Amino acid sequence: MRSDYQTWADSLFVPINPEGWRFIPLFVLAAIALFWIWAPLGWLGAAAAVWCVFFFRDPERVVPTRAGLVVSPADGVVQSVVEAPPPAELAMGDAPVWRISVFMNVFNVHVNRVPVAGRIVDQAYTPGQFFNASLDKASVFNERMSIRLALADGREMAVVQIAGLVARRIRCDLVNDQIVATGERFGLIRFGSRVDVYLPAGIAPLVMAGQTMIAGETVLAEIPVETAAAPDQ
C-alpha cells in the first residue's frame, strides 16, 4: 500500500519530458546571468525557469481499459464540439463528422496521447498562421500536423496538433504503419496550443464545450465493442 508521503512525492516530483531538457538548462543559466546583473531580474528569471520545468512535466496517466473508449489526446478544456469535414490534406472525404477541439494553455501538460488503438495510415504537416488556438479558424489556417488513424474495423479518424499564438513547434513521433495503443504518448506542442479529434463517422461525442480534459484518461466517445477489437499486428 502506498503511503501518504509517496503519494505527495509523486504529485510534487513529476517526470520531465525529454524535450524539456533542451530548454531547462538555458532558462537556469539565464536566471543565473540575470542575478549577476540585478537581483530583481534574477528572481524573474528563476520564476521563468520554474515555469519551464512545470511546462515540460510528463505525469503518468491511468488509461481506461475497456475496448472502444476514445480518450482525450490532450490536457485542457474542450473549446468546441462541432460537425466538420476532416482536414483536406488527409484525403478522408468532405463529409462532416464530429470534431472535438481541446485547447491547452501554457500551464497545462502538453504531452499528447493517442486517443484510441489503431494503425497510423498517414500524416501531413501543413505550414500556416499562428492565430490564437482557441479560435475556430485555427483548425483551417494555423500550422498543424494532421494524423490519419485506422481502427481495427477499417473505419478511420483524425487527430490534428495545431500551433497557437505562442506555440511555434509541433513535435510528432509517429510513423506511418505504426500500431499504437490507447493513451500512448505520441508528441508535444510548445507553448500553448490545441488538438482536434475527428471521430469516425457515426460516432457521437460524450463531452461538451467547457469540460476539463485529462490526456489519456478522460473519455471523449465510445465505439461499439464489436468494432473495437485490437488492430492486426
| Catalytic annotation, residues | 193
Q: How many helices (H) and strands (E) does the chain have?
A: 4, 13
- Contact indicator for 161, 76 with CB cutoff of 8 Å: no
CA distance 103 to 91: 25
CA distance 179 to 152: 11
- At position 40, the amino acid (one-letter code) is P
Cell numbers standing for residue 82: 462541432
Percentages helix, strand, coil for the chain (3-state, rounded to 5) are 25, 35, 45
* CA distance to 26, 81, 82, 106, 110, per residue, from 95 (Å): 47, 16, 13, 33, 30
CA distance 142 to 127: 7
* DSSP single-letter state for residue 206: S
- Contact indicator for 75, 104 with CB cutoff of 8 Å: yes
